[in-house]
Structure 1
Amino acid sequence: MLGVIGVILSLLLLMYLAYRGITVLILAPILALFATIMSEGASAHIMATYTEIFMKNFAGYCKSYFPIFLLGAIFGKLMDDSGAAKAIAHTIATKLGKDKAILAVVLSCGVLTYGGVSLFVVAFAVFPIATQLFRAADIPKRLIPGSIALGSFTFTMTALPGTPQIQNAIPMPFFGTDAYAAPVLGIVAGILMCGGGVAWLTYRAKKAAAAGEGYGDHPDEEVNDVDVSNVPNFWLAITPILIVLVLNYVLGKMYFTSVDTSYLKDYGTALGKVKGIWSLIISLIIGILFTLITNRSRLKSAMKSVNQGAIGSLLAITNTSSEVGYGNVIQTLAAFGIIQTFILGISSNPLISEAISVNVLAGVTGSASGGMSIALGALAEQYMQMAKANGINPQVLHRIATLSCGGFDSLPHNGAVITLLGICGATHKESYKDIGMCSVIIPICTLVVILILASMGVV
């Protein structure tokens, strides 16, 4: 029992101390070893646990996913520096106009994140345009963070099939799937999240208008006109995104399945474990090259943009790898067997068990990718066995995992939420209610609907 208390206490400390601003790079190994000592007492082998379990799994996660973190960050930086992200957001906003300011912001964020652009890049690119639209429509500024969160943290991150965001890539090696897994469930979930979120934000804007609340007076806000004099045209700007999405589909669904990959046995792996990752890597590389070639005159220093993107990817991958290392240490403890039995015993349906475990761990770690990585690293094999016994398609496991990681991950201590509020100059008190509704409550309600559809055999 002491070991179980130690595991739970370490998880709570991870959540609290991360919220207080201590980096997970320090917290994860310390709290993993704390849980080990609580579980094993004097027989705990601290150094062996750190080097042979924590760091081994840290390195293994980096090996599998570093190329996607790296290429995704470079792609996003080039889309930002070339003006392509701004061109896409500005065009969508202009076409829809101030009367549909909320929808314009949501769709601008959605198009960019669905193309693989980092949500942080999207927030910086869209916020200036959002302020202009909301000011012109006299919609409270406090609704901007919720609008950006809806377009960036929800349906394009976890639901829509084909999204190159890391949350959609993590389940692929576990379940032998690709980025387009369970397309019908993904599309339905995307529609529910987007539609529900826009309906909520529209309701909130109308309620504010009825109460006489407008954009508000924000004396510290620096509002500058969005300069679009040196950005690519819309179609040139969006082409790299289309390249990534289409090429990812062609490689994963057609090319790699039609060529001889028998040589993979010499590397100790199988096509199902790598084709999704390979497809995404190649697609991002081609998207990057296209962006570099077609925006030569707009990129003041292409190499500087590439370098900044590459360096920016390091913190993201090391943070997530640390959380994975932490999860694998916990997994080796005898106390975890009790917790695992409890989780698997919640339901004989692996989809329900998976949904709960991923959501809870994403909430505790404050990270969609970290929580899902820990849950799947510990339980994916059991979920696959349960799925086979119940005739459940592994694609459904993939989609339920991605949808589940995008629920409790956006609780107030989430780093992306805190960063978004900082970019928008808002506080939790002003804006979290709408962020929480759009990125926690509505996604969880959507997950329940998808679980029902999945139980009916929809893929």
Structure 2
Amino acid sequence: MLGIAGLVLAVVAIVALIWRGWHMVVVSLAASLIVVLANGMDVLAAINESYMGDMSAFVGSWFLLFALGSVFGRVMGDSGASAGIASSMLRLVGERHALLVIMVTGLVLSYGGISAFIIAFSVYPIAVELFERADIPKKLIVAAIMVCPATLGMVMMPGIPSTQNLIPASFLGTDAYAGALLGVICSVVMFALSYAYLQWEIGRCRRRGERFAPSPGETLSRPDDAAAPPVWACFAPIVLLVVLVFVLQRAAGMQATDAVTVSMLAAVVAACLLYRGRLADIRRAIGESCASGLGSLVSVAAIMGFGGVVVASPAYQGIIEALMSTSLNPLWQGFITIFAIAGITGSAIGALNIYLGSMAQTLLATGLDPAMMHRVLCMASVGPATLLPHTSAMLAANQAARTEVRDTYRYVLVSCALLPILVSLLGMALGLAGVA
């Protein structure tokens, strides 16, 4: 019981320290020590092996993408390209549809195989221009950017090339398009609910007289529309990014992360060449944005280190064993177990790997449709992973937007956690009713 109490206390400590503005490295180390001491673990072994092992693995996997994503966002912003995109989209659909533009942009990028981490940096320059012009309070920007990439664009829409959507395929013998009808229904419901919720929040803010304001230390320049790059040049790097990711994965058979890295590099080079006359000091822009991106990477990696300590703790192992030994219907057991693992660790990938690694054969032996189970278990992983404010993708989005978690968390909680949980329950009901 002491070990479980330690896990709970560690999560409470994370929430409290984040709310008070402590750096994520300090927060994650403090929470890790609570878990270690409550579980009677060897302190040095836990920090050096579990914490540093998972932290360094994450840094190694995402180093280039965080740096390139930050550079891409900075070049798009400094050149006026993001302002040009915002202007052209607002002329097309009007300011009242600014939220719709951001959500669709995030969805298209995620369907193109770009991770939520990179979308946070890539979409922010466009989103902040749209928010400023539509006069929407900035505390809503993280939810607006992340709601599609972190929910329907990650696990609901069939064919999404995300890791979360590919893990069940490797265990259940399905493919990325498994449970297509179920996925489409849940995607439509999720998009409609999240859009309605965020529009409602925007309306509430306007009725209270709340307006857009840049973050402390953030300088936003709105160039003349006439001074912005031509519309085709504004969109060209983003179109190149999406198309190249698709081609490299589908035609060349390249791994998803490698394809996105190469495509992001190509998009950065293309942007620098297209906008070279509009960037006052390109060396400074690249240097500062690299430093900013890598600072964000360290913050996110630190919480992954905490997850490594949690997974190595006896209390965590006991919880998983207890959940997996229940006599529930195997699909419900999987749903609840994945929900619990994702909620504790803040990792949908970890939850799917741990459960399916042990129980895939048991699930297949039930005779239930593997395609339906694929889609339902995928959806079960994303909502709980965002319930608490230490979710890695949301931390990255706050870093990119220069916002505080305590200001944005309420809107992220509803749009990226509670609504996906409701939709995943709908998916479970439809799946058991025979929809796949």
2:6 corresponds to which residue?
6
CA distance in 1 between counterparts of 2:7 and 2:410 reads: 31
Corresponding residue for residue 37 of structure 1: 37
**2:232 aligned residue:** 235
Code of the aligned partner of 1:282: V
**Deviation string, structure 1 residues 58-110 (Cα, Å, up to 9, x no partner):** 21222222232222222222222222222112211121124xx1x22331454
1:152 is displaced (CA, Å) by: 0.6
Query: Which residue in 2 is equivalent to 1:130?
Result: 131
1:25 deviates by 0.7
Q: Tell me, yes or no, if the aligned pair for 1:113 and 1:157 is still in contact at 8 Å.
A: no
Tell me if 1:371 matches 2:347.
yes
Q: Cα offset for 1:238?
A: 1.8
Q: Which residue of 2 aligns with 1:278?
A: 258
- CA-CA distance at 1:249 after TM superposition: 2.0
Given the superposition, is the C-alpha separation of residues 248 and 183 from structure 1 closer, same or farther in structure 2, using an over 3 Å criterion?
farther
- Pairing 1:295–2:292 present: no
TM-score calculated relative to the size of structure 2:
0.75
**Separation in 1, partners of 2:79, 2:64:** 22
The one-letter code sitting in structure 1 at the alignment partner of 2:68 is: L
* Residue correspondences, number: 411
Find the counterpart in structure 2 of residue 336 from structure 1.
Answer: 316
1:79/1:291 contact within 8 Å kept: yes
Aligned pairs for 1:107-122 within 5 A: 107-108=101-102, 110-111=104-105, 114-115=108-109, 118-119=119-120, 122=123
The answer on whether the counterparts of 1:24 and 1:319 sit within 8 Å (CA) in structure 2 is yes
Structure 1: distance between partners of 2:205 and 2:15: 34
1:400 to 375, 379, 400: 379
For 1:106, give the aligned amino acid. Answer: L
The alignment status of 1:55 with 2:45, answered yes or no, reads no
Do residues 160 (structure 1) and 150 (structure 2) align?
Answer: no
Q: Which of 352, 375, 378 matches 2:335? A: 352
Farther-moved stretch of structure 1 (391-400 vs 54-63): 391-400
Name the CA distance, whole Å, in 2 between partners of 1:156 and 1:220. Answer: 24
- Taking a change above 3 Å as real, the CA distance of residues 71 and 121 of structure 1, as seen in their structure-2 partners, is closer
Q: Distance in 1 between matches of 2:237 and 2:2?
A: 53
Q: Distance in 1 between matches of 2:61 and 2:166?
A: 9
Give the Cα separation in 1 of the matches to 2:58 and 2:362.
Answer: 25
Question: Per-residue deviation at 1:353?
Answer: 3.3
Q: Which residue matches 1:192?
A: 189
Give the direction of change, closer, same or farther, for the CA distance of 1:433–1:313 in structure 2 (3 Å limit). Answer: closer
SS in 1 for 2:73: helix
Shift of 1:455: 5.5
Residues 406 and 458 (structure 1 numbering): CA distance in 2 closer, same or farther, change over 3 Å? farther
Unaligned runs of 5+ residues in structure 1 are 135-140, 258-274, 363-369
Quick one: which amino acid aligns to residue 421 of structure 2? I
After TM superposition, list the pairs within 5 Å mapping 1:201-350 onto structure 2. 201-202=198-199, 213=207, 227-256=224-253, 275-344=255-324, 348-349=330-331
**Quick one: which amino acid aligns to residue 387 of structure 2?**
F
Q: 1:435 to 1:38 in 2, by over 3 A?
A: closer
Shift, 1:284, TM fit: 1.3
Structure 2 partner of 1:263:
none
Task: Write the distance in 1 (CA, Å) between the matches of 2:194 and 2:318.
Answer: 38
Instruction: Report the CA distance shift for 1:326/1:200 in structure 2 as closer, same or farther (over 3 A).
Output: closer
Shift of 1:291: 1.3
How far 1:220 sits from its partner (Å)?
11
Alignment of 1:439-458 (within 5 A): 439-452=416-429
2:111 pairs with 1:75:
no
Match of 2:358 among 382, 389, 392: 382
Overall identity of the aligned pairs, in %: 17
8 Å Cα contact 1:244-1:284 kept in structure 2: yes
* Distance of 1:71 and 1:293 partners within structure 2: 15
Does structure 1 conserve the Cα–Cα contact (< 8 Å) formed by 2:6 and 2:38? yes
Work out the CA distance in 2 between the residues paired with 1:215 and 1:86.
25
| Preserved CA contact (<8 Å) 1:3 1:35 | yes
Q: How much has 1:174 moved relative to structure 2?
A: 5.2
- For 2:285, the aligned partner's letter is S
CA distance in 1, matches of 2:205, 2:20: 33
Q: Report the CA distance between 1:290 and its aligned residue.
A: 1.6
- Asked whether the 8 Å contact 2:106–2:148 carries over to 1, the reply is no
Q: 1:37 to 1:301 in 2, by over 3 A?
A: same
Equivalent-residue separation in structure 1 for 2:220 and 2:47 (angstroms): 49
8 Å contact from structure 1 (residues 73, 310) kept in 2: yes
For the residue of structure 2 that corresponds to 1:232, the secondary structure is: coil
User: Cα deviations across residues 230-259 of structure 1 (Å, max 9, x unaligned)?
Assistant: 3223332222222222222222223127xx
In 2: Cα distance, 1:376 partner to 1:15 partner: 24
- For 1:219 and 1:244, the matched residues in 2 are separated by 30
1:95 aligns with 2:53: no
Which position in structure 2 is the counterpart of 1:85?
A: 82
Q: Would you say the 8 A contact 1:113–1:119 is kept in 2?
A: no
Change (3 A) 1:34 1:395: same
Instruction: Provide the C-alpha distance between the structure 1 equivalents of 2:420 and 2:155, rounded to a whole number of angstroms.
Output: 18
Contact 2:379 2:420 in 1 (8 A): no
RMSD value over aligned CA atoms? 4.4
